[in-house]
A = this chain, B = another copy of it.
Amino acid sequence: MKNLKEKKIKSENIFNGVLLNVKKDMVELPNGKETVREYIVHPGAVVLVAFLPNGNIILERQFRYPAGEIFIELPAGKIDVGENLEDTAKREMAEETGYHPNNLEYMGKLYPGIGYSDEVIYIYKAYDLEKRNISCDDDEFIEIFDVPFQTAYQMVMDGEIVDAKSMIGIIIVKEKLDL
């Protein structure tokens, strides 16, 4: 295999925002030349394929400002500092859907944007859901609904679900659980 690695020479914080942290590093390329790498530093996230007792899975409609569109997504959310993955999964399920998952099963991971972000998203199957409260937070602006698993899969194939983490979550669960 070729030498492909790049070495950090120096690192600069460009922007520390409410959501985004942007860095700009000077790096040494495998041929000894130097170049600049600009990227997002991200804490990581979880995405959940959450099964109701009737076999339906939970989906969300959410307006996403950067692309200016409403997307259909799986429940998901960022890892808080010091939080383990299963706690993130339980917290995000509760916050976004009002359900507590009594069982979680790890299904794999994905890197959504390796060109300019270090984000990694861990995929979980969530089941034995327990309804703890009905209403989402007033400031979340998420619409929750559920569909049979096969319908969700068809929505991926038909281009109705185009959010990468949701596409992969649904497809990985279909293949691994032979649904």
Q: Footprint of B on A, CB under 8 Å? A: 1-2, 4-6, 14-15, 17-20, 22, 24-25, 27, 29-31, 33, 36-41, 61-68, 70-71, 73, 108-120, 138-139, 141-143, 157, 159, 162-165, 167-168, 171-172, 175-176
Contacts and interface: CB of A to CB of B under 8 A. Distances in A.
Nearest to A45: B115
A92 to B, nearest CB: 13
Contacts of A25: 65
A113 B109 contact: no
6 shortest interchain CB distances as A-B pairs: A39-B66, A4-B63, A64-B114, A66-B118, A20-B38, A164-B164
Q: Please tell me how many copies of the chain the complex holds.
A: 2
Given A17-B24, A66-B115, 10 more contacts: A2-B143, A19-B38, A29-B139, A64-B111, A111-B162, A111-B163, A157-B172, A157-B176, A164-B165, A168-B171
Contact of A109 (B36, B118, B159): B159
A14 B18 CA distance: 13
5 contacts: A1-B143, A22-B22, A30-B63, A66-B116, A111-B162
B6 A63 contact: yes
Nearest to A78: B115
